[in-house]
Amino acid sequence: MRTSELSDPYRGNILVQPLGPIPSRTELLRRITTRPPLPGDLAKVPLHVRLHHLMEVRDLHIPSLEGVRVAETVDLMLRQGYRYRDPSRAATWTIVGNEPSPAPMATQTPPPLAT
C-alpha cells in the first residue's frame, strides 16, 4: 500500500507534488538500480562488437544498503525543505519578505503597578 493512500503530510504543497508519492525502500531500490540493456543474440554478433557490449557492464549499478539509506535521506530532506516553503502558507511569505512575525498577546508584559 502506498503512503499516499494512508496519509500525505505534504498534501496540497505544490512544491512537493512533482516528487510524487513518498517511496518505500523497495521502490527506492528499484529506482536507483541501473542495469545495462542485454544485447540480442550474441552468437551472431562479431567479436569486435561484443567487446563494446561488454564495456556496458560499467553502467551496472546495484546500490548498497548505505546507498539506499542515502537516497531515503535525500528524499526526506527535499520534502522537509519544501514543507516550510509552501507558497499556500502565510508564514512562508513572512519569511520571504523578511517581515517580523507579530508577537502573541500573551507574551506582552503589563506595565508595573505604581505603589
Domains of the chain: which residue ranges?
3-87
pTM: 0.65
61 bridge partner residues: 34
Distance, in Å, from the CA atom of 86 to the CA atom of 12, rounded to the nearest integer, reads 9
Tell me how far the alpha carbon of residue 114 is from its chain's centroid: 59
Q: What is the pLDDT of residues 55-99, one digit of tens each?
A: 988 999 999 999 999 999 999 999 999 988 888 887 877 777 777
User: Is 110 a residue whose pLDDT tops 90?
Assistant: no
